[in-house]
Amino acid sequence: MSSIGKLMKQATRIQRQIEEVQTGLAARMVETTSGGGAVKVVAKCNGTLASIKIDPQALNPSDAQVVEEMVLMAVNSALTQAKEISDAEMGKVTQGFNIPGLM
């Protein structure tokens, strides 16, 4: 088989593996909290948020800015964890396959 043929076969296999990993990442979730558990965020490892829960006791109107900061901290933490998992899983698939300009 020619080098181009081998490369195309490998690229097709990697594309299929990438799609499988992406499907798995969409189903995989991470959960983080902030404010001592007052705010809980669940993020999918495909970079989307699944849910945000706020303890009703944290909703004192005079504390709105504090709650906003806790939500922001929890969301950023969840998305960071999800991105790390996604990068690690995708790295497993693309390891050793290097075409300039592709990745």
Domain count for the chain: 1
Residue 103 belongs to a domain: no
pTM for the model stands at: 0.60
Residue 90 belongs to a domain: yes
Tell me the CATH number at 61: 3.30.1310.10
Residue 99 belongs to a domain: no
Quote the domain boundaries for residue 20: 3-94
Residue 100 belongs to a domain: no
C-alpha–C-alpha distance, residues 17 and 11, integer Å:
10
CB-CB neighbours of 22 under 10 Å: 15
pLDDT (0 to 100) of residue 15:
85
* pLDDT tens, position by position, 24-76: 888 888 898 888 988 888 888 888 888 888 888 888 888 778 888 888 888 88
Residue 102 belongs to a domain: no
Q: Is the pLDDT of residue 83 over 60?
A: yes
Residue 37 belongs to a domain: yes
C-alpha–C-alpha distance, residues 46 and 71, integer Å:
20
Q: Which band of pLDDT confidence, cut at 50, 70 and 90, is reported for residue 101?
A: low
